[in-house]
Amino acid sequence: MKKIGIILVISIFSFGSAMAQLVKVDQEVFGMDCAPCAYGLERGLKKMGGLGSIKVSLNDGKAYLTLSPDNKLTLQKIQEEVKNNGFSARRAEVVLTGELCKSEGTWQIKVNDETFQVTSDTTREIIRSLNPGIIKARLLIKDKSDRELSGTWEARIEEIM
């Protein structure tokens, strides 16, 4: 009976961490002003593991990434790759599944060793509907200096999915 309890606890924690992941990232890219630039960035991003599909649009100034199931990518790794290719990563729109919790009065979503802190400009309706546990949501990530990339992001929840 004790073994069944241990297996159950391990299964629950494994399920929770397996569920936490980035699903889609639409990353604004600054400094991309020619077709070879967009092609080079697309090639650089394709080298990262965990991507399902990628499209870099010179006209939109964005990289559109769909991540593969069970990926371990982080927004920081994606933005660092953009920076390593000679560009600046700006705001991003992210769809993710993660662990929603409240810490020191602030809602946070934990995903792959990153923390997305929910900002006060998230609508009251969405804030009132939040409950701790697994959440799938679309977030707007605030711009951060390329020198300040870390695993903590300020994010406005746009939609709970």
pLDDT digits (tens, 9 = 90+) for 31-84: 999 999 999 999 999 999 899 999 999 999 999 999 999 899 999 999 999 999
User: For the chain, which domains are there?
Assistant: 20-160 (3.30.70.100)
The token pair that represents 76 in the structure block = 């920081």
Between CA 110 and CA 115, with CA 111 as vertex, the angle to 5 degrees is 45
Question: Which residue blocks in 20-88 are alpha helix, DSSP H?
Answer: 35-46, 75-84
pTM (two decimals): 0.84
Contact yes or no for 138/94 (Cβ under 8 A):
yes
On whether the CB atoms of residues 134 and 98 are closer than 8 A, the answer is: yes
Length of the chain: 161
